[in-house]
Amino acid sequence: MWHGPCKWPALVAVLCLAVPLAALAELGPTTPIAQSADERELITRATEFEQELERRGLILNEPLLKDYVAATGNRVVAAGKVSLPLRFNVLRDPNSNAFALPSGGIYVNLGLLARLENEAQLAHVLGHEAAHVAGHHAARQQQSRRRKVISAHLADLALMGTSVAYLPFIASMAHYSRELEQEADSNGLDYLLAAGYDPEGSTQVFGVLREIPVTESFLGSLYASHPDNAQREAAVRARLVGHDPVGNGRVGETEYLPIRLRALADSAELKLLGGQYELALRNATSLDKLAPKQPMGRYLTGEARRQMAAQPELAAQEQAVLRQTKYSDKLVAEMRSQQQSWLDAAQIAYGEALAIDSQFAPAHRGLGLVAHARGEATSMREHLSRYLALAPQARDRRYVEYLMTAP
């Protein structure tokens, strides 16, 4: 499982212990995975959790990402001769994480897709998680922990405007021992090699995940913060001795680029919804570097700066986390002192987006909202009118029309 320490109360999610049970058949057959009554109980609970994710709209159904992840995962497990009924999904979550459930559900977050650099790295992540299921690691971990349950309170998960409350879940479903992680590393590497991927994808993943700040990752990471990562990477490299030289297998950097661009944009928008403005700016910077001829990176830069100006209290909360200090009136005052400069920066960024694509409607919306914040009614109406002309089906049309007609 991939994830790292999370300090965002609004974005904390813990796996659930009991959610109303729906028809298990909707998630596919689970019987072939189970080996014991205890494991069947784990599968039932995991299936309930998956159904809750689906009900709350946290499973992303965007074909570009969903189909690519599923195709990569199926390619890996087929080559590895994993005969279990596995399902690969993308979770609508900006944190860097991936996890497997004993019910066969394997999930990779938008945030991690945005961090990975090629298909070989994704193949390693999915192969690693598949190895957890194939090795019955949840049941083995449960036995070793004697059914110890994570102690946690209900937490609200605010993503895409949806508030979701989860109940605690058995620790073994979310967190594996060092030995089981090493076993998943080894078996996942075997799957990767069998599928014809460049084995360097496995070692690269450790480097990618080491670069993830704790503020961008999830609860309790074995990959972003575990003290034995260096030994685990060394063990993977040792396993590669005697195999074909690096570079002879599939890397898939070109194929993965549109996936990463979409994940960067989508996770940035989720971060903005969660008041993670500086973190969204990092996504925007990455988008600019990877696709300088596309307007999205510049637009998201403008959105982050504009929203920081509009919500200085939330900006102060984020800065308190990033600076590892206390939220205070002084910090709020500091953020308020920068409102005008942030509006200036937003205006420049939106203009740069339109210089790349003059028909990019969201940038006109951004300029209109900047003008509204400054009390510039004529400029506001001009840009918002242009926005609605370019995007006649805009979801926020009523709100925009209200701004345009308000005195």
- What is the separation of C-alpha 78 from the centre of its chain, rounded to a whole number of angstroms? 25
Q: Which residue has the higher pLDDT, 91 or 101?
A: 91
* Distance of alpha carbon 265 from alpha carbon 62, whole angstroms: 13
The answer for residues whose C-beta is within 8 angstroms of residue 260's C-beta and 6 or more apart is: 113, 114, 116, 117, 290
Q: Give per-residue pLDDT as tens, 351-400.
A: 999 999 999 999 999 999 999 999 999 999 999 999 999 999 999 999 99
DSSP letter, residue 245: P
Closest CA to 201 of 209, 227, 100, 134: 209
Q: Is the pLDDT of residue 150 over 60?
A: no
Q: Is the pLDDT of residue 164 over 70?
A: no
One CATH from 1.25.40.10, 2.60.40.10, 3.30.365.10, 1.10.20.10 for 275-405: 1.25.40.10
Cβ–Cβ under 8 Å, residues 120 and 251: yes
- In 62-136, alpha helices (H): 63-79, 110-115, 119-134
Q: Is the pLDDT of residue 57 over 80?
A: yes
Closest CA to 105 of 63, 44, 157: 44
How far is the first Cα of the chain from the last one, in angstroms, to the nearest whole number? 54
- The pair phi, psi for residue 91, each rounded to 5°, is -100, 135
Q: Which residue has the higher pLDDT, 347 or 244?
A: 347
Domain ranges of the chain: 9-239, 275-405
* Distance of alpha carbon 346 from alpha carbon 309, whole angstroms: 9
Per-residue pLDDT at 380? 97
Q: Give the pLDDT mean for 242-268.
A: 86
Q: Which residue has the higher pLDDT, 223 or 259?
A: 259
Q: Is the pLDDT of residue 30 over 70?
A: no
- C-alpha distances in Å from residue 361, one per residue of 15, 54, 342, 394: 39, 31, 21, 10
Q: Which residue has the higher pLDDT, 181 or 4?
A: 181
